[in-house]
A and B are shown apart, each in its own frame.
Chain A
Amino acid sequence: MAQKILLKNINVPGINTFEVYRQYGGYAAVEKALKTMSADDVVEEVKKSGLRGRGGAGFPTGMKWSFLAKPEGVPRYLVCNADESEPGTFKDRYLMTHTPHTLIEGMIVSSFALGANTSYIYVRGEMMPQIRILEKAIAEAKNAGFLGKNILGTGYDLEIYVQPGGGAYICGEETALLESLEGKRGNPRIKPPFPAIAGLYGCPTVVNNVESIAAVSWIVNNGGDEYAKIGIGRSTGTKLISASGNINKPGVYEIELGLSVEEFIYSDEYCGGIANGKRLKAVVAGGSSVPILPANLILKLSNGQPRLMSYESLAEGGFATGTMLGSGGFIVMDEDACIVRNTWNFSRFYHHESCGQCSPCREGTGWMEKVLHRIEYGHGKMSDIDLLVDVSKKIEGNTICPLGDAAAWPVASAIRHFRDEFEWHVNNPQAAMDGNYGLANYADPIPVVEEAN
């Protein structure tokens, strides 16, 4: 059984209440950090742990914290990014719903490490139940003396506020989030300056994902070195994976980084294989923004070695044959899934969610969506396929925020790996409307793992 850190007590009845959470050792990290450690000690442990941002970019958390500017007399802020809107990703919601105190405890310890006396949790606007759950948890913690003035008599003050989001995917981008938190339109800022220098209200700010913050308590309790022993290479610790698609057991899993993709999909401890006796066709491994990979490339590296669930292994092969761990939104497609339709669907999402500030993303996302729609509905032309590649290239890298790249990659990778399916749609419009291209030959050689086991 793999080690569980965040979801260890998830099945304990009442773990969502302060009382039970405390009985199971909760808030020990707050006591330890505030009473026995300095803020810099905590930062040091997080650095040692090798924890990397779980919001998508995978930037080392300890390093991000050490970049925080500390001018005299200027407040600093910690902002928790709970805007979770990436298609295929639903782990933060799960954690906040079932064990909200894991996040609150992490928030207190992290705020202490950063010297923040006011911290915010920016929650996706649609998650009203989770907002109430968090507010209740904050009230409970405050009641028990873990929040407010002079926490545990240590002289450290902290207030945590929950802010409902603006209801837009783009508000998950950290600078758009800060704008929105300030009460403005959620447009990403032009960087530099980075939030570590000028973030919320122009003050030094750290923005971290729910899962990154939640992991800090365990690191404080057990030490950064212990955390670094879990996982593989520079992918340390555990990661929550939101598994969806046609698998036997969809849900949120906590894995030790370094697990093989094959085991994750097929073992009974995790996804339990493809449902209904179907075969695996493709996987989007890290949320809708990362490149899609066909079955053969997601299970194995180009050198034949198994591909692992880690930042490095998933990225192995670059854009040609690799993808990214991203936010851990693991979308599994079986032989009945239509790649063209899926690509159009993703594209529709990015078109809808572009903030519209910069020309390539504002205009390009809509253009790609329309061309993909036309192909999917049997009016495509052969030249559309290269047009899509060209448009995606002209968006990629030329925009203010990474949403442009996130819109371009799914399209570019789908065409890179599934070009014949796109061509089939163009050449067989009626058949494409009635049926499905299936596995055909590009996904070969697909090991039929169900039988092999």
Chain B
Amino acid sequence: MSEKVKVTIDNIEIEVDPGTTILNAARMIGGDIVPPAMCYYSKLKGSGGKCRTCLVKVSQGSAKDPRPMPKLVASCRTTVMDGMVVQNITSPEVIEARKGVVEFLLINHPLDCPVCDQAGECHLQDLSFEHGKDQSRYEFKRRTFEMVDIGDKIKLHMNRCILCYRCVFTADQITDNRVHGILGRGDASEIGTYISKAIDNDFSGNVIDVCPVGALTDKTFRFKNRVWFTKPVNAHCDCEKCSGKVTLWYKGEEVIRVTGRKDQYGELEEFICNTCRFDKKKTSDWTIEGPTKVDRRSVVSSNHYDEKELLPVIDRKIF
């Protein structure tokens, strides 16, 4: 193992392996200084750099070359250098730019949270809560698309998509038969699936879990329900195709949804197969491990288990 490099993020120092990105270094520190990431996904090669929510300021490039970087950089795609100094929430410029990015992500977003299956576990919802303005300055018609069925198990609500490309990378890298990409360009881009051709591949369902918003949803999520009325439980089964480690979402006694297990940044620990996800909805299919630890920032936790704490809202007085 080569020498560690030292990086300072919002005045907190940490030593990390060379090649680590600023974002991952920040995640090692943890807490409020971790930049939000809507498109980066550690398990998907090539992801990141697109949404621009993770922008940070590099006020010192490295010990050798202390010049600051001229522009804000995407922390998910910028590797640390020894002696680098990074500002995230301590930089008004970063906060301002991030507010801009969030506003951009929302101008064409339908904000139909009350009817969206993702509500409560949506990263965009969290982000707009923390950085959003009360009122949109956008006074034009939002772009709209028809809803599309991708096979019989997945629904695409293109209106909600933020074009993070995670599902595209998933289709590319996890499934072996890619029929999923981006068509069109600019704000007319859309997820193309060869006109709703089913992705019949054992791992296609993972696109639902990687989607940071409610654009790709599980059609077998049977009793349309608000996630915060459901209880997540870790369970596993013997599966030939995947690890069989999942989260079961209960309403009362009934399993209404199966997903992969997610870490505190909303990333899947492991991809699961479609059989586990869509076809095993009886408790008897599973060995229960215990309640899923839910990040206290999530509204899912409002119903149970942990004590609820206030969201770490950034002090608005600094700008």
Contact = CB atoms under 8 A, between A and B. Distances in A.
Interface of A: 168, 170, 185, 190, 351-360, 362-367, 370, 387, 393-394, 397-400
Nearest to B109: A363
A366 B188 CA distance: 10
B71 interface: yes
Query: Which has the most chain A C-beta neighbours within 10 Å: B72, B162, B185, B189?
Result: B185
A398 B137 CA distance: 20
Contacts of A370: 140
B187 A358 contact: no
Contacts of B184: 356
Interface in B113-151: 137-138, 140
B59 to A, nearest CB: 15
A interface, over-half SS: helix
A363 to B, nearest CB: 4
Query: Which has the most chain A C-beta neighbours within 10 Å: B103, B104, B108?
Result: B104
The 8 closest A-B pairs by CB, nearest first: A394-B100, A363-B104, A354-B186, A356-B189, A190-B49, A397-B71, A356-B186, A366-B187
A362 B137 contact: no
Contacts of A356: 163, 182, 184-189
Interface stretch (B50-58, B222-230, B292-300): B50-58
Nearest to B55: A398
Interface in B172-200: 181-182, 184-189
B242 interface: no
Contacts of A168: 185
B52 to A, nearest CB: 5
A363 B103 CA distance: 9
Interface string B41-54: 00000001111110
A83 to B, nearest CB: 15
Given A351-B187, A356-B184, 20 more contacts: A190-B77, A351-B186, A354-B185, A355-B186, A356-B163, A356-B186, A356-B189, A358-B52, A359-B52, A359-B101, A360-B104, A362-B104, A362-B186, A362-B189, A367-B104, A393-B100, A394-B104, A397-B71, A398-B100, A400-B50
Nearest to B51: A359
A367 B107 contact: yes
B29 interface: no
A366 B189 CA distance: 12
Given A168-B185, A363-B187, A394-B97, A357 B104 contact: no
A387 B140 CA distance: 14
B185 A353 contact: yes
B137 A352 contact: no
Contacts of B96: 394
Nearest to B182: A185
A440 B49 CA distance: 45
A168 B162 CA distance: 22
16 contacts: A190-B77, A352-B186, A353-B185, A356-B163, A356-B185, A356-B186, A356-B188, A357-B163, A358-B49, A360-B101, A362-B187, A362-B189, A365-B186, A367-B104, A370-B140, A399-B52
A435 B160 CA distance: 42
B55 to A, nearest CB: 6
A385 to B, nearest CB: 13
B105 interface: yes
Interface in B203-224: none
B50 A359 contact: yes
Contacts of B272: none
Nearest to A168: B185
A353 B185 CA distance: 7
B74 interface: yes
A358 B74 CA distance: 11
Interface string B30-71: 000000000000000000111111010000000000000001
